[in-house]
Structure 1
Amino acid sequence: MVRFQDATGRWTMRRYGSSQSLFEELDQVNTPRMLVIFVPNWPFLSRSISQDQQAIVVDNKRVVAVTLAARALGIRVEDRIEATLEKSSELLVIDSDYDLELSQFERVINVAEEFCPEVEVFSPGLCGFNLKGPAKYFGGEASLLKKLAKALGKIDFEVYANPSKKRRSPDRPFSNSTLEEESTSDYGSWFLFGVADGLFCAKVASGFGVVVKVGFTKEFLSGFPIEVFGQGHDFETMRSSGIDKVSDLLELPRNLLIERFGSMGRRLFELGNGIDGSGIQKRDVKASHSVRVEFDPPGYLAETIIFSMRSNVDLLFSSLYDRGLYPLRVRVVFETESAETFSRVWTSGIPISTQFLLSWSRWQLDSWTTPNSKTNREPPSSGVVYCEVEVLDVTSNPSVQLDLYSCAFHPKEQVLRAIERAKARLGDGSITVPKSNSGRSPRDKFKLIEWQLQLFEEPQDSSRISSSPWPGQVPGPEPSLVFDPVVPMEILGVDGLKVSVSGSGEFTSEPHEIVINSLFERPKKISKIIGPWPMNEKWWDSKNSKRLARIQVVADDGVAMMAIIQNSRWYLEAIYD
């Protein structure tokens, strides 16, 4: 029984049985058989930190990864760093380093590429490929998994000397009847395999190290809560409609889900039924979906190559944006004078921007050109002569949801990385942000300070600041534009002479017009004026004392302003919108 709210706001109860055809209107989609390699504790494994050690990885002052020893202390992902430090004096706190984790993951990617030439990297610790060709070549899925596990096992991670403590087994909200008899969780001590129909189900299966039978996607996912589909969905509305689990969703007709939840309902319905065309597969890509950048003379420096790629990638992505399309999977290929090539396919749960494709490409080049004894790949013997960027998969929804386990860059991270890059180019102190403050004038209530990460992360308690006692504080509403420094101006009387304020807080003559040559071409006649309000701050401090008077004035054209007079000179302090 499911409860729905129609367009008029009325609630109705409907029951739908499994006898109805769920696929009567579904397009024919070729769902590939997928393999996903998942390393549950990669942030620690990439740094050679044992699970027996009390350690956490922190990003933006929040915990993003926890060892088993730290979890035993009650520390969980998303906890704030301040609360975790109180739980143990031996706790090791590590700053998140995406580039480090990604570069170390090259060891795993190299092994996977021995079994499939097109391995897609979803995030550090998560990659996969289409099983169709490799499974046939290596004698079936089971044979391929055993050989791949044996090859991965040769990567030496000493921190997993005791496999019995390797990880915490998650709850299994699915029936064993949906799985193949052999589980992949016993193949290795530090990695898990997930095999299923479609990329989404394979990612879910990789969290448990299981192989889902062909055609059993629906049965496998039915017991999961609706949140298994990832971020970016209105799950609260679904739960208020009685949809708590995937099985509740799949009981409903597709047309009804589209009517109630739009494209999101259709997408979730298809994923739950194993209709997933987002798998890793070759596609017929139009020429307009790729761009080729040639380097003459050949490029040797990664920074130079990446800089030359920027404008071409911008044009490629802009052509997609103009058609309402957003890239999700992109192949980047570099080739040298000696015909050496290095290809990598990048996949994200959210649209890929130019900036982050270039960041990934830079890491791709560095991992290829930098000698590394831990990988078998030889560095190129000559310079790069061309780079080809090819868009393999797109979406028409710019706010597509993040997939399970996805570590793709979300909007907050995009802002942080953009700020850090701008700061590196412009220098320290060049990036400023407003910070709430206490004071009487609009300039005192907010201060521009150098950008710091904690300012972006921690919400300010504006209620505490605004409630501070400040006699003489300018009442609201706040002006829309505050000048710092203030702008020189003049207030003239009817006789054309300058108007001042006496020691008793009175105008020396009737204000008639305002002259601000730096902002307005002509003087503005005064329509209304309030004040002056004398103020004497820090009168006990001869060096920092400040004596002034403030007025609020409205010009005849409706422009409202705030001005001050200090040391017999007028200044424009703010403008109201």
Structure 2
Amino acid sequence: MLVLWCPDWPAVAAAKAAGVPAHLPVAVFSANRVVACTAVARAAGVRRGMRRRDAQSRSPELGVLGLDDDRDARLFEPVAAAVEELVVGVEVVRPGLVAVPVTGAAGFFGRAALNRPPGEVPEVGRDHVEAGERRLVELLLDHVPTRADVECQIGIADGLFAATLAAHRSALVERGETEKFLAPLSIAELDQPGADRAELVDLLRRLGLRTLGAFAALSGRDVVSRFGSAGLLAHRLARGRSERPPHRRRPPPELAVTEEFDPPLERVDSAAFMAKTLAGRFHAGLAGHGLACTRLGIYAVTEHGEELGRVWRCAEPLTPQGIADRVRWQFEGWLRAAPEGRPTAGVSRLRLEPEETVEGRSLQFGLWQRGLGDEQVLAAEKAGRALVRVQGLLGPDGACTAVLDGGRGPAERVRLVPWGDPRQTASSPEAPWPGRLPAPSPATVFERTVPARLVDSSGVRVGITDRGELTAAPHAVVIDEGPLRRIRDWAGPWLVDTEWWAPTGPGLRTRVQALLESGVAVLLTAVGDDCPQWTVEGMYD
């Protein structure tokens, strides 16, 4: 069995999805603990199981991302497809790990490696099989990083379990030598992701069985009588036996639809007429495989070779009419754009590609919406279609909805989500947030902070003491070099000390609510304590 392993895949996939450069440290957290981190983060001292505060104290630049199994699986598909281009029978064990039966592929590449025709080499000749294994490993290590832009390690051994451990060590274990390879390894290797053998491993360690070889030396009768069927299965793995035969992966069907146009499309009405037929073919192809599209990629090539593309996020699985509408709206965005952004020729080739699919049963919506009248349902659908059309003209971030998230300041608690994306919170709003601003929040939060100067009755700038108190009662404020505005009443301060471990971190942040004599209430924020710089963060109605 050959196993290809992408180290730290949850962290690598999260960094890819978030657009974080490879030279910056990244860690994936679940329940406020590190579940995966990149090599750059490990070099800074971050480890699995570490609390978030401890991890950030060791690496102030650490990118903090959430766990998402769907994202990991979706981004791993190009890796599996790249392996499948060289060898058949690929099994995705989990995102980050694929397995391939190596015998047939080794025989094929062995003949090429030895420069012999098939008739001159025995079908099971050991020389060409070993040469083929090495040749296959070389090809995969060259091909997969080029096609999928990921680092990988490969191991070969008898059985999936041993091949996985060999991949962790980039080892090619000869046939029949698997048990010898496993013998010196720690008994903790039995607890692979998804195996749920932590209790068994702890028991074996307390019984003095520290290595796989020590466990494999026990007789099967003794193991099953003491540890049951779960222990017997682990015993088979420690001896280099297979748990089960591989479940070969079927290559995904070709679901994209491509159409050539002669003469090229230069008018929106012509594109709208064509879109209905093309959308019907595209939807029928998906339905034939029991699928529906939730992210639609529209790619076009003009007569002059210009390449255009846009991916549409869809709040619901697309119907044929929905696909046709998005194609028409996209052509409006391309053909009616400003002269500097408009293609120089008509579209000669169009491809519709399902970037994300769900099972077809997701199309079975309810016959009515509980709690909503017919007019409200129609209005909601019209509003949704309008937002999707805005996205087609301005891009995915052109139409967003707000999600109330966790945080201390008003700007931190609001996160904008592109229309059609899941409206999920990154952190719980109900969780305790020391230093959080009390309700109500400002009605207006400025995208860019407005400079201000907070002074006391003597005209001296108000600062922050070592005990987190104001040096004097606020008397007036100067906003954006404007006139002096007297303060009728004020409340606060609310203090938050964030990233205190970082030399260039935000440090102490102080917030004060002030009611001006004009009747306007503002939220003032200061950063630092010695000579704080005050800004206007928000305004109350």
| TM-score, normalising length: structure 2 | 0.41
